[in-house]
A and B are shown apart, each in its own frame.
Chain A
Amino acid sequence: MLRIRDASVTFPASDGQDVHALDHVSLDIAPDSIVVAVGASGCGKSTLLNAIAGFLPLTKGTITLDGKEIVAPGGDRGVVFQKDTLLPWANVLDNVALGLKYGGVPRSERHERSRRLLELVGLADFAEKPPYELSGGMRQRVGIARALATDPKILLMDEPFGALDSLTRETMQQLLASVWAKTGKQILFITHSIEEALTLGTTIVVMSPRPGRIVAWFDADFVREFAESGDIGPIQSHPRFIEMRQEIRSLIHQPEGARTGTLQ
């Protein structure tokens, strides 16, 4: 269980006016859930993820993972970045195995585990290739496999499909839904796409900028259906999907007045 209590992050700005990137945010992420934070740019959703990852200290509040307070980055939280962060001098297999290598897992064992993960993301045939010979979508799949390799308690994904074309993006969403169904990992997913949030989230957290805070949250279960069928069409034309999309859109465009989602 990831527990965020009253988390605030304040950056000093050049004009003396402090920027409240994150303002008294509280949130629980239960095991076996996908929490998707959605909002316009500057709403603090990436700040939230960076704080959970331990890249950024909180100004106020606490974040605990299974009761242990987060103070620095660590292998118990796997991170998938928007920007490709694979190492160009290592092949795909060694990239996936990087975290296991840091953890001192013997070479043959870490290669075996990494190969299984490459199979999970459908890249078994690309183990020996250098990352720069792969397409953007494939590289993100390697990134997911790498983050899963150390068997983290939670997967933090910072707009991981934001730089991909819409077709690849759909394939990746499908892949993530099936990986989640197979591994049951708790996931925090950041996106600015409302459709992506509704397709993937079991909980959707709507955030608003200046100061960055949570204005509403919704429960959804489209991702279970999506993981089973793999077909995005019927889900996105579901009346409830359309209704929720509309409500979230109006929340993002008029962030005044915090309120809780009433649907579901």
Chain B
Amino acid sequence: MTLAANSGTSFSSSTAKRALSPKRRRPASTSTLGISLVTLAALLALWFLAAHFEWASPLFLPSPAEVLTQFSAVWADGYANGTLLEHTLASLGRIAAALGVGIFLGIPLGLLMGLNRWVKGIFSVPIDLYWGLPPLAYLPLLIIWLGIGETSKIVLLSLSTFAPICFAAQAGVRSVPVERINAALSLGASRLQLFTSIILPSALPEIMTGLKIAIGAGLSTLVAAELIAAQSGLGYMIMSAANFLATDVVFVGLIVIAILAFAFTSGMRWLEHRLIPWKGKI
């Protein structure tokens, strides 16, 4: 009986090989995209149902349709002194400026701190001190010093992006394997060649990680700063809407921020793939 069952289901060895070969060439898909999309759809469906059956008051939980209508209204007519695009661009401009400052000051200083005992000794104390503070705690001080305008916000954001980038560049220098440095020296590298051809590229993966942390820190500080003191930006739009219980506009703002955060994350992943394809391979 076992024999019969076997002969019924087995196939010749050549068929078996052919049936297996595509699987052998390409291992089982590890992509989670499909699963994630289903989860997203389920969440949307839950939101739709919750709004449709009014599990919460419409005042607190607007329906997806309302949010969509409000989205196009805010896009076309604006809300709180500006269209959606203007608010988004205001926020993006601030974070871009802060990232620029963080990168152009944080990377060189971090590299120097990794290379030189004196530079590290001098700068690590002030950076450690302010990095431990919640940014919103010293925002009032920055407003007193620099006024309510753009400067105080960009300085605040720059402080929150600078430290993680600086720390990462420093850690990157210290993570260079000593054998790699010795190999370059025994090949006749000068100090400058050692820095440009070995230390800088070796530190790049750490710097990219620092950049990702800086974007996260910058984004959360940005919105918080706009909630407190701003005349434009997504945080300001959300706060204005909340004051009038315009929950649908709050939702619009949140969705835009979520999309921005997602775009930043994807962009960084793409950049890592382009700049450091060797990461984790050696």
B198 nearest CB neighbor, chain A only: A87
A88 nearest CB neighbor, chain B only: B278
Contact A87 B180 (CB under 8 A): yes
Contact B187 A75 (CB under 8 A): yes
**Complex Cα distance A79/B276, Å?**
27
**Complex Cα distance A99/B184, Å?**
8
Q: Which residues of A contact B188 (CB under 8 A)?
A: 74-75, 99, 102-103, 150
Binds A, one of B67-75, B189-197, B234-242: B189-197
Contact B186 A53 (CB under 8 A): yes
Q: Which residues of A contact B182 (CB under 8 A)?
A: 53, 55, 73, 79, 81, 85
Contact A98 B179 (CB under 8 A): no
Q: Which residues of A contact B282 (CB under 8 A)?
A: 84, 86, 88, 131-132
**Complex Cα distance A11/B270, Å?**
47
Contact of A102 among B177, B180, B189 (CB under 8 A): B189
Decide yes or no whether B45 CB sits under 8 A from chain A: no
Q: Which residues of A contact B185 (CB under 8 A)?
A: 54-55, 72-74
Decide yes or no whether A146 CB sits under 8 A from chain B: yes
Kindly name the residue among A72, A75, A85 whose own CB sees the greatest number of chain B CB atoms within 10 A.
A85
A18-46: contact bitstring with B at CB < 8 Å (1 yes, 0 no)? 00000000000000000000000000000
Contact B278 A79 (CB under 8 A): no
Decide yes or no whether B25 CB sits under 8 A from chain A: no
Q: Which residues of A contact B278 (CB under 8 A)?
A: 88-89, 130, 132
**Complex Cα distance A100/B277, Å?**
25
Contact B186 A79 (CB under 8 A): yes
B180 nearest CB neighbor, chain A only: A85
Contact B186 A78 (CB under 8 A): yes
Q: Tell me the residues in window 65-114 of chain A with beta carbons closer than 8 Å to chain B beta carbons.
A: 72-75, 77-79, 81, 83-89, 98-99, 101-103
Q: Which residues of A contact B201 (CB under 8 A)?
A: 87, 89
Q: Separation in Å of the B23 CB from the closest CB of chain A?
A: 23
**Complex Cα distance A101/B196, Å?**
12
Decide yes or no whether B281 CB sits under 8 A from chain A: yes
A86 nearest CB neighbor, chain B only: B282
Contact B193 A102 (CB under 8 A): yes
**Complex Cα distance A85/B197, Å?**
13
A75 nearest CB neighbor, chain B only: B188
**Complex Cα distance A78/B188, Å?**
9
Q: Which residues of B contact A84 (CB under 8 A)?
A: 282
Q: Which residues of B contact A74 (CB under 8 A)?
A: 185-186, 188
Q: Separation in Å of the A258 CB from the closest CB of chain B?
A: 31
Decide yes or no whether B183 CB sits under 8 A from chain A: yes
Q: Tell me the residues in window 258-272 of chain B with beta carbons closer than 8 Å to chain A beta carbons.
A: none
**Complex Cα distance A75/B188, Å?**
4
Contact B281 A85 (CB under 8 A): no
**Complex Cα distance A27/B276, Å?**
45
**Complex Cα distance A55/B185, Å?**
9
Contact A79 B281 (CB under 8 A): no
B278 nearest CB neighbor, chain A only: A88
B143-180: contact bitstring with A at CB < 8 Å (1 yes, 0 no)? 00000000000000000000000000000000001011
Kindly name the residue among A77, A87, A132, A146 whose own CB sees the greatest number of chain B CB atoms within 10 A.
A87
Contact of B179 among A73, A85, A88, A146 (CB under 8 A): A85
**Complex Cα distance A72/B186, Å?**
9
Q: Which residues of A contact B189 (CB under 8 A)?
A: 102
Contact B187 A98 (CB under 8 A): yes
**Complex Cα distance A156/B185, Å?**
14
Q: Separation in Å of the A70 CB from the closest CB of chain B?
A: 11
**Complex Cα distance A35/B191, Å?**
32
Beyond A54-B186, A73-B185, 13 additional pairs, beta carbon < 8 A: A53-B186, A72-B185, A73-B186, A74-B188, A75-B186, A78-B186, A79-B183, A83-B179, A85-B183, A87-B180, A98-B184, A130-B278, A131-B282
A-B pairs with lowest CB-CB distance, top 3? A75-B188, A88-B278, A99-B187
A-B contact pairs, 7 of them (CB 8 A): A54-B185, A73-B186, A75-B187, A88-B278, A102-B187, A132-B281, A150-B188
